[in-house]
Chains A and B, each alone.
Chain A
């Protein structure tokens, strides 16, 4: 129907591969829209559905295997680096470990559907000593379900997507500017969100020197180790007097702590 569709048809496989690879590496360019458009083109017989799933699976496994190997080699340091660039660095490691401890390797399947977690899950699996065959199986299963889901949406709603493509085609090069501007706005919004989060966090944080000074003054803040149970097993050290508290334990443990007392939370 158009140059745009012809272009996407010609490079569809490569676009899906590149987009999935880039997203799984951790760059915030969502692959789902590409998968949906590719699914619509597959419905129209312009692209091969099995080829698209294969391209997405290879791209995802390639990126995830690198993260998995880094997790195995460098353990939590990789995770901390990844979480440092995430939206919620302080809770990132703890949160992802909790998910992993609760769901085991099956969380690799679910991770593909959770923004942010999909990049963190592979190095976490490596850091937690998951075996390679098991990792590859669950990662592949998750990728096929996720990519297949995106393609299926495009497959089902192909008429609507064809209309959108026709509309974009009608805009000529303006469509490219519009898509580029949309992507730029999305990345800028993410960056601004993270910057605001860091600012708020910096204002609220207590330094180790300040905490030490509180102890020396005889004040008794409640110090809570919020690491996941698995992380505490790997490194059982704690700040003297620190207690542990999981999200599921809030109702049981909070009644023993006055709301007026200072609470200091720490992870790794």
Chain B
């Protein structure tokens, strides 16, 4: 959908959030309202 709207550089993150956490990189926490 983003590409259809003209965004040229759209990439999914391989492994998603789990891969980011498993790699030991820092995370933030969403506020409850989000």
Contact = CB atoms under 8 A, between A and B. Distances in A.
Interface of A: 90, 201, 204-209, 211-212, 223, 225, 227, 232-233, 235-242, 244, 247, 250, 254, 257, 259-268
B29 A266 contact: no
A254 B11 contact: no
Nearest to B10: A263
A225 B17 contact: yes
Contacts of B16: 90, 266-268
Contacts of B25: 208, 212, 239
Contacts of B21: 237
26 contacts: A90-B12, A208-B14, A208-B23, A212-B23, A233-B32, A237-B17, A237-B27, A237-B28, A237-B30, A238-B17, A238-B27, A239-B20, A239-B25, A239-B28, A242-B28, A250-B2, A254-B2, A259-B6, A260-B9, A262-B9, A262-B11, A264-B11, A264-B13, A265-B12, A265-B13, A266-B17
- Give the interface size bracket for B toward A: 20 to 34
B29 to A, nearest CB: 5
B28 A206 contact: no
Given A250-B1, A259-B6, A239 B27 contact: yes
A204 B34 contact: no
Given A239-B25, A260-B9, 6 more contacts: A201-B12, A204-B10, A209-B23, A212-B25, A260-B8, A264-B13
Contact of A206 (B12, B17, B29, B34): B12
Contacts of A259: 5-8
B13 A211 contact: yes
A213 to B, nearest CB: 11
A247 B2 CA distance: 10
Contacts of B34: 232, 236, 244
Contacts of B6: 259
